[in-house]
Amino acid sequence: MTDQIISTSVLVIGTGGAGLRAAIELRQQGVDVLAVGKRRKYDAHTTLAAGGINAALGTMDPEDSWQQHAADTIKESYDLADPQIVEIMAKNAPEGIRELEAWGMPLAREADGRISQRFFGAHTYRRTCFAGDYTGLEIQRTLLHRAATLNVPIIDTVYISRLLVADNQIFGAYGFDIVDGSRVIIHADAVIMATGGHTRIWRQTTSRRDENTGDSFRLAALAGARLRDAELVQFHPSGILEPADAAGLLISEAARGEGGILRNALGERFMSRYDPERMELSTRDRVALAISTEISEGRGTPKGGVLLDLTHVSREVILTRLPRVYRNMLDVQMLDITKDPIEIAPTAHYSMGGIWVRPEDHGTDVVGLYAIGEASSGTHGANRLGGNSLAELLVYGRIVGAAAAQYSRNLGSQVRSTEAVETARDEIDRLLAGRGFDNVRSMQRAIRDLMSEHAGVIRNEEGLTKGLAKLAAVEARLPDLAVHPDIAGFDDLAHALDLLGSLMAARATIESALARKETRGAHNRSDYPELDPALRVNMVWSFADGVTQERVAETPPEIAKLMMSTDDSVVGKLLE
């Protein structure tokens, strides 16, 4: 089969919000761009973001400022966020909202026309803009419309299996069409990765099948980039347990904000043991830890969860304030939440770590390679502030698009490597030639099981070490892997490459979790229950060096002062 060759100035991998915003910027600057993705552009992960997008507009609370937004973000990160990245995000978020507004996004508004803003947990002021509980979906639609207006070329059936690098300089990517299996070499001056995270490697996850499998980690690491904070994963407190194909489906934290009560199998309202002041309105990491502790200590339900009880809340409130939760539970479980509690457990929700990037332009260690959105790192540290992920992707989508445009314009020459292309081609050939008896799904399930058992909300040295041993056993099964494309398409090949990404992401996560011998934010070590001030570092992972430590830059004094004066009250504040 002859490889098709495509050339472009900048290749964007990923067609969610981050990738689209970068592609739009490149097109607006008159630079040739191609965006590719492995799932349909209207079904990108961005569409699942419900709650809102942060920007210090001051429409509701005029005293808000980008400095306070930055202070709230760094404080919630447990001091592991990169202060410069956070400053850039907070300063530029209002411009992102103005762009969406200009491009026709139907943001919620007050009676006088102002953009509505509401509280999310851990925000000092109301700064979260929204469009009902479909904010991410509306952002994706708005960006797709803008991209179509600009005639941005998008191919949403291409799986990128390798980045192409020569002498530590990117020169494109290699992949195949998921529908017909045709191979493609894409030559590009620069490549922007907007490829998501790795939360699908846990059993309970808000990610859907075949997304966020860790393939972004593998692509970057094989190209010579480093990963940062792979161990820092945000577990949302409330994901449903069944049916199996919906396990991890999110129950919005607004359910607790509207009066939902958490009870264990004994009927106890257990949050009084963990945060007696804030109770169910505590921070996401604390509630997830509380639920996991109840389950691990034997007070969970027979199915391994706890109960979220809304039966005391009026039916009118539920139907007007929680319509999506009400409808979803009827659809997937035939459960009427006005009459029966919801069985939930923590669910892997967001990769706060990702590819190591520079603050100013999100460039990586590989010349010409950039990363944005959940594929990148540095914004969220050890706990993500609700509403920041959508702000981040808009801000850095624009900045990185401009940086890649400038890099392409200034590029005098580019070295290509036939060896790099042959390596990418041979990898797919070997997978397709495999005639073993082991299948991808069983190996993926083994990864998800071991990550859930040994690297979930609560971790310790013994469990993480056992997890590494089990991971090695899964890796040893790779020679027996069978890949069988058929008339329906080449999804099986895509699943096999997803598996390779999951294996590498799991290893980086466990090894980094072993190195972080403390409890900080979403990272809970039962054998090291206290935060260690000496570990205000990022864990950086690479094939060459394993895990190394990198000091976090100091927070500017004006931001640090605001962090000290932040009000932790939850009165009137709903959560994402």
Catalytic positions, written as ranges: 236, 256
- Residue whose structure tokens are 């570990």: 535
The alpha carbons of the chain give a radius of gyration, in whole angstroms, of 23
- Residue whose structure tokens are 């480093």: 226
Give me 213's structure tokens.
Answer: 């499998």
Can you say how many angstroms the Cα of residue 41 is from the centroid of all Cα atoms in its chain? 17
Q: What residue type is assigned to position 198 of the chain?
A: H
| Cβ–Cβ under 8 Å, residues 78 and 147 | no
Give the orientation angle of helix 491-515 with respect to helix 461-475, to 10 degrees.
150
Q: Which residues contact 462 (CB under 8 A, 6 or more apart)?
A: 527
| Local structure of 33: helix, strand or coil | strand
| Cβ–Cβ under 8 Å, residues 420 and 271 | no
Q: Which residues contact 569 (CB under 8 A, 6 or more apart)?
A: none
What CA–CA distance (Å, rounded) separates 569 from 573? 8
Instruction: Please name the helix (run of DSSP H) or strand (run of DSSP E) that holds residue 387, with its range, or none.
Output: none
Rounded to the nearest 5 percent, the helix, strand and coil shares of the chain are 40, 20, 40
| Cβ–Cβ under 8 Å, residues 147 and 20 | yes
What CA–CA distance (Å, rounded) separates 396 from 398? 5
Nearest 5°: phi and psi at 227?
A: -110, 145
| Cβ–Cβ under 8 Å, residues 110 and 374 | no
What CA–CA distance (Å, rounded) separates 395 from 66? 13
3-state secondary structure 245-314: HHCCCECCCHHHHCCCEEECCCCCCHHHHCCCCCHHHCCHHHHHHHHHHHHHHHHCCCCCCEEEECCCCC
Report the Cα–Cα distance between both ends of the chain, in Å, rounded: 49
Nearest of 127, 84, 122 to residue 563 by alpha carbon: 122
| Cβ–Cβ under 8 Å, residues 46 and 136 | yes
